[in-house]
Amino acid sequence: MSIEVRGVCPLLQVFDMPTSLRFYRDVLGFEIVQTSQRDGDRFDWGLLRLNDAEVMLNTAYEQEHRPGQPESARTKAHSDTVLYFGCPDVDAAYRHLRAHAVDVKEPQVASYGMKQLYVRDPDGYELCFQWPAA
């Protein structure tokens, strides 16, 4: 017998919530489902959803304790985190990101047959939009 699971929702620690929302909501198209409190785009935790994909964003620092710049060691540590999204039209995702002035390289087909498009979010987390190559 196994545990019934109906999804997974990663929690990402972000430096600046409004900057992250401009990327996840305004560029990628996620909707804000729930937040810790609402003061425009300033809140400490939020649940975002795009179709069946969910992501939680949480500020790494309470507003009064946030340093002036992201800590490079913290951001560098994000480079080993990748979120993979099922994306039936990887080429359309590429065009969409380019239309929003996102610096992204053309999709490639991996040796195991997945067409993949990689992009980094404002905090250095890597996102991969992928689908089996035709």
Report the half-sphere exposure of 80 (CA within 13 A, side-chain side): 4
49 touches 31 (CB < 8 A): yes
Q: What is the pLDDT of residue 34?
A: 95
Q: What is the pLDDT of residue 62?
A: 79
Q: What is the pLDDT of residue 31?
A: 97
33 touches 24 (CB < 8 A): no
17 touches 60 (CB < 8 A): no
Kindly give the confidence (pLDDT) of every residue in the chain, 134 residues in length, as a single tens digit, with 9 standing for 90 and above.
899 988 899 999 999 999 999 999 999 999 999 999 877 898 999 999 999 999 999 998 877 777 777 777 777 777 788 999 999 999 999 999 999 999 999 999 999 999 999 999 999 999 999 999 98
Pick from 128, 124, 125: nearest CA to 110: 128
Pick from 85, 81, 97: nearest CA to 13: 81
DSSP 42-108: B-SEEEEEETTEEEEEEESS-GGG--SS--HHHHHHGGG-EEEEE-S-HHHHHHHHHHTT---PPPE
Q: What is the pLDDT of residue 97?
A: 98
Q: What is the pLDDT of residue 76?
A: 75
* 51 φψ region: left (φ > 0), alpha (ψ -120 to 50), beta (else): left
Q: What is the pLDDT of residue 71?
A: 79
Q: What is the pLDDT of residue 132?
A: 98
pTM of the complete model beyond 0.85: yes
β pairing state of 114-120 and 126-132: antiparallel
Coil, strand or helix: which one is 129? strand
